[in-house]
Amino acid sequence: MSKLRVHSFSISLDGYGAGPEQSLEQPLGANGMTLHGWVLATRTFRQLFGQEGGETGIDDDFAARGFENLGAWILGRNMFGPIRGPWPDEAWKGWWGDNPPYHCPVVVLTHHARAPLTMAGGTTFHFVTDGTHAALERARQAAGGRDVRLGGGVETIRQFLRAGLVDEMHLAISPVLLGAGEHLLGGLDLIKLGYACTQHQATRAATHVVLTRAR
């Protein structure tokens, strides 16, 4: 069976995966972008957005692993956009412009139905309203036997962790403090959920930790 994986999910030293006060101007909340300094200069990230160059090495290796054997994504609604409640219309098409960086099917977990949205570059957003298990099943069907990547945000990852659905999670712990925001692991007993640290490696920009759940 395909795996559900979290990759390159950045958190602060005090455990926050996003800052407070998400908005159109600050999609990751106040100071949220400071979590991602480790990945912005990597070759993998730059290629994702059609840019040349970029750094190689450990940070880039971890970023690249997130795209291996990948067939579909799952996102929470907050990752798709800042709109809350029923969709007022279909004008909002994500943060990424006409050609999102996914290039495969993306399942968006939401409480409000919306027709599928096909974008340039092979990305189609499918909006699923009947919970985490249904979203994972839909994503696995779309992935065609390959793995599914859970992109976030924080509360969406927490839902899938609590349900025991995440097989592997790569966290990049950035050397910054946020002080407030959305805490990723607070109140979760990862040992009881079956997770163990199977890899850790530090660079100047981040400490990379891989947690694997025993099947």
Model confidence over 152-171: pLDDT tens digits? 999 999 999 999 999 999 99
Question: Would the pLDDT of 2 be above 80?
Answer: yes
Provide the token pair at 204. 């100047």
Q: Which uninterrupted H or E stretch holds 44?
A: helix 43-48
Predicted confidence band of residue 1 (pLDDT cuts 50, 70, 90): confident
* Domain spans of the chain, in order of start: 4-20+27-84+97-213
Is the domain defined by 4-20+27-84+97-213 classed in CATH 3.40.430.10? yes
More confident site: 70 or 30: 70
Scanning the structure block, which residue is given the tokens 């450990």? 58
Query: Considering the chain, what is the average pLDDT of its residues?
Result: 95
- Orientation angle between helical segments 132-143 and 154-162, nearest 10 degrees: 100
Q: Is 94 helix (H, G, I), strand (E, B) or coil?
A: coil
Q: Is 59 helix (H, G, I), strand (E, B) or coil?
A: helix
Distance CA 81, CA 100 (A): 13
Q: How would you classify the pairing of strands 16-18 and 182-183?
A: antiparallel
Closest Cα partner for 157 from 41, 50, 54, 79? 79
Predicted confidence band of residue 207 (pLDDT cuts 50, 70, 90): very high
